[in-house]
């Protein structure tokens, strides 16, 4: 695969993620049980651990499916 095709695929992927992002927020993605939130007096630390794990599993399954269909 040459660089131009790779950049086009990355761009299409970013557009798809950008379109689906609001949908993820509506269904609660980013505020799952297991996401770490530490609130201080003047600051808040937020690390979406459960969300990261869920998305990692989802992307792993999707990539495995795409690898099977690729020639």
Question: pLDDT for 40-67, tens place per residue?
Answer: 999 999 999 998 999 899 989 988 988 8
For residues 58 and 68, membership in a common domain is answered with: yes
CB 34 within 8 A of CB 50: yes
DSSP class of 40: -
pTM to 2 decimal places: 0.64
For residues 41 and 65, membership in a common domain is answered with: yes
Q: How many domains does the chain have?
A: 2
Give the H or E element holding residue 5. Answer: helix 3-26
pLDDT for position 39:
95
**Which range of residues forms the domain containing residue 17?**
1-30
For residues 20 and 43, membership in a common domain is answered with: no
Q: How far apart are CA 47 and CA 66, in angstroms?
A: 29
Q: What is the number of H-type helices and E-type strands within the chain?
A: 2, 2
């Amino acid at each position: 695969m040459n660089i131009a095709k790779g950049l086009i695929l990355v761009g299409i992927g970013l557009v798809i993620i950008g379109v689906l992002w609001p949908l993820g927020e509506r269904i609660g993605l980013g505020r799952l049980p297991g996401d770490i939130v530490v609130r201080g007096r003047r600051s808040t630390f937020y690390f979406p651990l459960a969300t990261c794990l869920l998305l990692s599993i989802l992307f792993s399954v999707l990539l495995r499916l795409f690898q099977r269909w690729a020639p």
